[in-house]
Structure 1
């Protein structure tokens, strides 16, 4: 059956971790496109969860800030997390997917930053502008941006990180990907984090600059877009809001405004 829809005849390279990509892929396919799944990150629990558990089980936090759905799922999977302090502790979710993950685990959400689901929007909310003397626990993966904790500390809050997962780059042979891409088999690539973008460029190696120069790239947020420009990407689609539906809507808008359509050859 011939695909129909605004993305018909187009192949999009989806680089999200496998367990986070299916919602986005389903929307792409519903719009007639092909989602070529090529996960560039794996999410795994931290090796030693004891430091995170000790922080999560404190009952004196004013706020818990979950920065991703991964943070929610990995924290909820810690069997020794009692959640005793959640009655009085408010919970912020950086993003709609994070809020949904909290709801699925039975935790309420007191704040979701808008219009963008990121740290900058959270810091602009009234609740996080005046934080002198408050205690804020940021639940996240190992490493990551320091903006949130640094800014809150500058505003007088006590902050700490509960790091409940870590990211790994899967070992993969990109020969088939690069060969198909050079033949026109990738119409657009997607990168939903700076780390994914870095892994993508590492994976492409010497072919990276050539493929970046000729291929549109869909990203979430201006920060990742800037990193992409620095790595040689010229045609950027910045999705706002940074949700699955927002990403697909931005991609459809790009093509409706003159994106070049190609019929992709057969892919391995």
Structure 2
């Protein structure tokens, strides 16, 4: 008798899970989805909006997520009928890069890793004395990017475009879950107490894995948070 396919829980925010769910389903897994986090856009203050008006004054603009890219573009479309030249438009990974590229922006991103550490290795961020960098992001999160850029001599502004919070409607599936996919540390903190000890948790990158291991024994590492890398990690379990 063939083994029953693994049951995988995807916890990405609403609207960001469809590609991964489709890949997992096509690969033969049983898939459920429950968002660990909710994403709410924030009203831009006059000062924040001015940063978008002056975006051509920045050496580089870094988008930390697909949400940051999407929300920034909604405002930029009204302000810039043509994208300013001479700006390095930086995406943390493929999903973010795709949003920028679809708007006609010549985007740069890391070759692998798809996190702040990888982005900081880009050539355009090595020498920053006297240059300005804008970081488009959500609330909370790490300050590694801003702190490192300042140490390299940059003047750093941050544009907070959305708020992430725990999904109060999150409900652990009644069916046994073999594998839970977690793509951010904040998401893990929102659901950690709900995850059964025997459930395997797949996370992107050693930084997140190290934190999850503090409270959960069965942690597996994906190369990154991309759909393909999360799928690859699951395939190693089947």
Correspondence for 2:219: 236
The answer to whether the Cα contact below 8 Å between 1:42 and 1:170 also exists between their aligned partners in 2 is yes
In structure 1, list runs of 5 or more residues that go unmatched: 256-268
Task: Report the secondary structure of 1:20's partner residue.
Answer: coil
Correspondence for 1:45: 41
Correspondence for 1:36: 32
RMSD in angstroms over aligned alpha carbons?
Answer: 2.0
TM-score normalized with structure 2 length: 0.91
Using a 3 Å threshold, how does the CA distance of structure 1 residues 81 and 41 change in structure 2: closer, same or farther? farther
Correspondence for 2:183: 192
In structure 2, list runs of 5 or more residues that go unmatched: none
Distance (Å, rounded) in 2 between the aligned partners of 1:36 and 1:75: 31
Q: Deviation of residue 161 (structure 1)?
A: 0.4
Partner deviation per Cα, 1:47-101 (whole Å, 9 max, x = no partner): 3343322112113101111111100111112264336662221111110111001
Q: Deviation of residue 114 (structure 1)?
A: 2.7
Task: Report the secondary structure of 1:230's partner residue.
Answer: coil
Distance (Å, rounded) in 1 between the aligned partners of 2:224 and 2:212: 19
Out of 102, 105, 111, the residue aligned to residue 103 of structure 2 is 105
Correspondence for 1:249: 232
Correspondence for 2:154: 157
Q: Deviation of residue 123 (structure 1)?
A: 1.3
The answer to whether the Cα contact below 8 Å between 1:216 and 1:235 also exists between their aligned partners in 2 is yes
Distance (Å, rounded) in 2 between the aligned partners of 1:84 and 1:154: 32
Which protein is bigger by CA-based radius of gyration?
Answer: 1
1:208-247 maps to which residues of 2 (within 5 A)? Answer: 208=195, 211=196, 213-231=197-215, 233-247=216-230
Q: Deviation of residue 254 (structure 1)?
A: 3.0
